[in-house]
Amino acid sequence: MIAPFDIVILLLVLICAIAAISVKDLLSAVIILGAYSFLMCLLWSEMGAVDVAFTEASVSAGIGTVLLIAAVSKTKRRSKD
Amino acid sequence: MRVLLILTVVVTGLILIYGTQDMPDWGDPNSPPSTHVSPRYLEKTLAETATPNAVTSVLADYRGYDTLGETTVIFTAGVSCILILRTRKKQKKVDQNSNPDKT
Amino acid sequence: MFDFIVSKYNYWIYITLMMIGFYAMIGKKNLVKKVIGMNIFQTAIILFFISTASKRSATLPIIEHSHGHEEHVIEAASYLNPLPHVLMLTAIVVMVSTLGVALAILIKIYRRYNTLEEDEILQLKK
């Protein structure tokens, strides 16, 4: 628990979340979601949950991003909103 | 419609924020989740499981059935992914086989 | 007042994050955007659970000097609460499973209707 570090990462996470749902290109949204997952991993290792942090880094930021990129490449890349 | 949407989200958020004033403070050592059963796990983990990492001993030893259920969930998800993405191919094969018969 | 804000601000940021995901789930028309919103929502809930495990001036839940000194007394207040970590470890894996199934259904929808926009699919169904 280091409060300034915590506030900075939480603000970055919020910016990433807003960017991920407002970008029109779906591939960019997926990459921003990957950055969001890694920031979340940093936040958890800062809170002391190291096991959860490396599970998040490998499973959610790794496999989740790969699955989303595969789905976007099989379907359309453009989105209306 | 968009106004209703934003109103729904904001009202839900405000209700949840109203609920946080009864939550324990962040980092409080005497908060309810930290006092009930987890001190026992921390104190007995070396004597009972000989694992220094408390997370591992709770995950694989005290709550092993939980992990077994998690494995079942992953298995079900994998099987359902295969089933969802596979049915289309079968229909194509049937179409290819049935079209020459019709003509 | 300042103490109140310092002890509660992280809950408010988690709720904001959760409401961003909620807005994407119910407001966006694109189905991939809905899946991304679901991911953000689940991550916010996991973040909330992890934050309940933190204690002031406590270290990681790994017992120090465990080999060779097995008789010494362990104080539970100096280690973080391991239980939310374990439960959320399970929840992350379940999150990725739901993501996989959702994307499989999404690819199936795209093969059938050739679009991913919700309103266009509803028009094609009529």
* Residue C73 confidence class, pLDDT cut points 50, 70, 90: confident
pLDDT digits (tens, 9 = 90+) for A47-75: 888 999 999 999 999 999 999 999 999 99
Q: Give the start-to-end residue ranges of the domains of chain B.
A: 37-95
Domain ranges within chain C, ordered by starting residue: 2-54+80-125
3-state helix, strand, coil in chain B (%, to 5): 85, 0, 15
| Candidates 1.10.287.3510, 3.30.70.360, 3.30.1490.70, 3.30.460.10; CATH matching C2-54+80-125 | 1.10.287.3510
Q: How many domains does one find in chain A?
A: 1
Closest to C121 (Cα-Cα) out of C31, C25, C32, C37:
C31
Taking the Cβ of residue B24 and every Cβ of chain C, the question of whether any pair is shorter than 8 Å is answered with yes
User: Long-range contacts for B9-14 (Cβ within 8 Å, ≥24 apart)?
Assistant: B9/C19, B9/C22, B9/C23, B9/C26, B9/C27, B10/C19, B12/C19, B12/C22, B13/C15, B13/C16, B13/C18, B13/C19
Q: CA angle, B89 as apex, B85 and B92 as ends, to 5°?
A: 145
Residue C72 has pLDDT above 80, yes or no: no
Average of pLDDT values for B43-67?
A: 88
Residue B26's nearest CA partner among C8, C65, C77 is: C8
Q: What is the ipTM metric for this complex?
A: 0.93
Kindly list the residues from chain C whose CB atom is less than 8 angstroms away from the CB atom of residue B58: 82-83, 86
Q: What is the pLDDT of residue A19?
A: 94
pLDDT tens per residue, range C79-115: 888 999 999 999 999 999 999 999 999 999 999 999 8
DSSP string, A32-52: HHHHHHHHHHHHHHHHT-HHH
- C11, C51, C94, best to mutate vs chain B, most B CBs in 10 Å: C11
Residues 53-92, chain B, touching A (beta carbon < 8 A): 53, 55-56
